[in-house]
Structures are given as C-alpha cells and as structure tokens.
Amino acid sequence: MTETKARRRAGRPRVFDTDAALDKAVRLFWQRGYEATSMADLVAETGVAAASLYAAFGNKAGLFAAVIERYAATFSVHLYAPINDPALSTYEAVKGLLERAASSFSEPGTPAGCFMYSAAAAVSPASAAIECLLRDKRIAAEALLIERLQRGAAQGDLAANTDPAVLGKFINTVMEGMSVQARDGATTSELLSVAKMALDRWPAAI
C-alpha cells in the first residue's frame, strides 16, 4: 500500500508522528467513547492542530477509523494471539484468550475494558456508521473464535456433542462481560476467577 522507502511525496513533510498521535487518540476514545471525545480534546492530547488532523484523517470519523486499526494492531493482536497459535490445544487457546482478556482489561496503564466493546456502546443516529464499524469488528472477532473452535472440533479436540457456534458465543459473551466488569473496577484476579469459572463449563467428552 504505502511505498516504504521510495520517493517521498512532494510538499512539506508531516511534522507530527501519525502513530504517536493515534496512540494518544486511542486512549481518549477508549476512555470516553466516540461522541464524548471532542476534536478539541484530541488537539489538546495529541498536540496536533485541528487542521493538521483533518488534513491527515479527513474528519473525526476518519480519525476514529484509523484509531480502530491502530488499536487492533497494537492491542487486539496480542489479545487474540492464543487463538492463532497452532501449538496450543483448543482449550489452551481459549484459556489463553480469557486470561489475556483478564489482564489486559484491567491493566493499569490503559483505560479499563476493551476499546472495541465500549468506545461506541451507545451513540446518536448521526454516528450509526461509527457504531457499525465497531460492531463489525466484534462480529468478525467472534467468527474467528468460532472458526478456531470448529477446527478444534474437526481435529477431535472438542467434545463431539459440542456446538462450536454456541461455545464460541458463550466465550465471547463472557469476555464482553469482563470488559464491563473491568470498567466498573474489577481487579485482574477477580476477572481471572470469572474466566476460570467460564472454563469450568468447558464441554467434556461423553
């Protein structure tokens, strides 16, 4: 997509670091949500003038879309790593996912919970497209989890009488609930105990 080292574009080069600004923006949107975060907030937090943000991202929605991708690349990738790790059993993969959720959702250095779940939980009709962006991400993530379970089932790594779609939706539901819990102040150990209880429901072979 972007030419890595080849000829730079003409004109005055950008003086601010796009990824650094996005990292700041991620935190703001994460904490306050899409509509409650104003451009003035973003200008104050990133130190980048409004016109420069608009030149780089088009508008607030475009900036948010870039923020989503930045969050996915820096946080979601780490969260879902166990799902994509072929060395793990199906159970270990889900266990790793829930344990990472427990720790990352309550990590001190970042806002509580998951950005994907709370950044646009309830918005005005004017921002329906934004809500949809995140919803699609959530649905896609659940689908990936279910696909992982289906692979496990195909390899005999899951009880035969288990519906991967139901199990995946259950796991995903617990994870979404853990985000709400984290937002309300649940500690890592509390979230871990919740994750453990969810894994206790793991379907045993008959």
Q: Which residues bind DNA (CB under 7 A)?
A: 7-16, 35, 37-41, 48-52, 54-56, 59-61
Residues 60-119, interacting with a copy of itself (CB under 8 A):
117-119
By CB under 8 A, tell whether 143 contacts a copy of itself.
no
Q: Which residue has the tokens 């409650």?
A: 36
Rounded to whole angstroms, how far apart are CA atoms 114 and 30? 8
From a copy of itself, DNA, none, which one binds at residue 183 (CB under 5 to 8 Å depending on kind)? a copy of itself
Q: Write out the DSSP string of 112-136.
A: SS-HHHHTTSS--GGGHHHHHHHHH
d(CA 112, CA 38): 20
Compute, in degrees rounded to 10, the torsion defined by CA atoms 165, 135, 97, 194: -90
Q: Where are the alpha helices (DSSP H) in 48-89?
A: 50-57, 60-71, 77-79
Q: Which does 31 bind (CB under 5 to 8 A by kind): a copy of itself, DNA, none?
A: a copy of itself
Residue 46 binding result from a copy of itself, DNA, none, given CB thresholds of 5 to 8 Å by partner type: none
Q: Which of 11, 200, 205, 206 binds a copy of itself (CB under 8 A)?
A: 200
Q: What residue ranges bind a copy of itself (CB under 8 A)?
A: 30-33, 35-38, 41, 117-119, 121-125, 127, 135, 138-139, 166-167, 169-170, 172-181, 183-186, 190, 193-194, 197-198, 200-201
